[in-house]
Amino acid sequence: MASTLLELSNLISSSIATVDARCKALSRTYPDLDNPANAPEDENVVHDAEIAEAASIAIAAASQLIANLNSPARTMLETSLMCLVSAALGVVSASATAEIVREAGPQGAHINDIAKKNGMDPMKIARVLRPLATQHIFREVAPDVFAHNRISTTLDTGKSPEDILAAPENKHQNEQGYAAIIELNTDETFKAGAYIRDVVFSSRRNNTEEQHDELDTPLNRAFSTHTNLFSWYEQPENRVRFRRFGMAMDAARRVNPPDTRSQRYPWATLPEGTIVADIGAGIGSVSMVVAKANPKVKILIQDKAAVIEEAKEFWEKELPGSSADGRVTFQEHDFFGPQPAKEADIFLLCRICHDWSDSYVLRILKHLRQAAKPTARLLIQERIIPFVCGEDNSLHHVPGAMLSTTPPKPLLANGGRIVSYLIDMQMMALLSGSERTLPHYWKLAKAAGWEIERVYREGADPMNQMVLRPV
């Protein structure tokens, strides 16, 4: 065991040395955790490829070292209580505490002064801020006085606390969106998550897809409703959540913009007149990237009627005249029904499959297969969940299926990255959907009459692409 500890320690040391050397080469300083206002040039170094890779290794090694050094009982106890850290984060974000602390300046805000502005009990403010400060989110700079650090500033919308508390539905409008993501995670996801156990245990009695009630999700139980997530958001009492969800999804798209999600597939090489049908496209932000990469292709946007109207406005604004000259057409369509676009050369499904259970995904894929001509291809863009133990070699014959690099030993084969698995559980909490492994997608594809012929995936990139051919 001592050898493992030293290996992990050496990985941390060598990775930090790489970060330091690269920062010096760039004449920059790595951002200071305690500084809520590092120079933008210093903040940008975290995106440098060499620094990001070294930091990723150091983080994974540090996490694994803690797991090795900590007592098992303590690890289990702390892990079981981490849900309360999420609860604390939710209170702080929803109460405009981040904005109040920002207005107080570098010296920080006393809990009594925070309470005067947001109406909370000052002692309860302290009780939710201290676990966060221990997690290095905020700083307690003096007894009962809290200030921002580099991490906690991401909760700050930049707006006044008075405006936020007076009109919470407008809190996330025209801001970076991180607070919207946090509040989504610490409100509906958090509350639904408490019912995952109940739903999973009840499903043991219903071990077939046909018996499963798609509307018996943890969210349905948490909020005593029997409708899907998207219809639930449209209910009048959820107007704040609905607007927040939209802002959270917009922020997520900006973290991983469409051009980075779509650039690996060789769109620019497609022949003139290629028809790309974007299924469940929303406003068509992904296929817009395709259209700009290859002006000679034709785009078909499919979605519900209300969304189609928004899509028309989006395309006219971003690519004026594209509808008039036939580069883009719009079609109202429910992807659970028969697919009318039988001349499409490429069907595009971007972030659709993860919203639905296997039985519903099969329905979508089978309708596409029935419509597909022999030369058509289906491009699925989704998060491919890695196995913690490493790659499944059963698909080694599929180009791109295997990751080209693996983390150095003794790190976990997945690099210690947990976010993909937590998002998978979020899909379990909010919907009947899931993120899936590549073998899982392979089986679904085969059952629907498709075969994966090429995969575009790279390391920790959350958006992967699978090219399927009809069989």
Q: 3-state class of 450 per DSSP?
A: strand
Q: Is the dihedral of CA 263, 268, 271, 274 positive or negative?
A: positive
CATH classification code of 72-166:
1.10.10.10
| CATH 3.40.50.150 correct for 265-418+433-470 | yes
**Tens digit of each residue's pLDDT (9 = 90 or more) over 189-232:** 999 999 999 999 987 665 554 456 789 999 999 999 999 998 99
244/232 Cα distance (integer angstroms): 14
CB 391 within 8 A of CB 403: yes
117 backbone φψ class: left, alpha, beta (φ>0; ψ -120 to 50): alpha
- The single-letter DSSP state of residue 27 is T
- R_g of the chain, CA atoms, integer Å: 24
Question: Does an H or E element contain 195, and which?
Answer: none
Q: Identify whether 131 is preceded by a cis peptide bond (ω within 30 of 0).
A: no
Q: What is the pLDDT of residues 394-412, one digit of tens each?
A: 999 999 999 878 899 999 9
Of 60, 30, 56, whose CA–CA distance to 150 is shortest?
Answer: 30
Burial of 246 (0-12, 13-18, 19+ CB in 10 A): middle
Burial 352-381 (b: 16+ CB within 10 A, else e): bbbbbbbebbbbbbbbbbebbeeebbbbbb
Kindly tell me the number of DSSP H helices and DSSP E strands found in the chain: 20, 10
Catalytic member of 226, 354, 396, 397 = 354
Phi then psi dihedrals of residue 110, to 5 deg: -75, 145
Task: For the chain of 471 residues, list the mean pLDDT of each consecutive stretch of 10.
Answer: 90 98 97 95 94 96 97 97 97 97 97 97 98 98 98 96 93 87 96 96 63 86 94 92 86 61 77 96 90 93 91 93 95 95 96 94 98 97 92 90 89 93 96 95 98 85 87 95
Q: What is the DSSP string of 255-305?
A: HS-HHHHHTTS-GGGSPTT-EEEEET-TT-HHHHHHHHH-TTSEEEEEE-H
pTM metric for this prediction? 0.90
The Cα–Cα gap between 439 and 445 comes to 10
Instruction: Respond yes or no: is residue 47 known to be catalytic.
Output: no
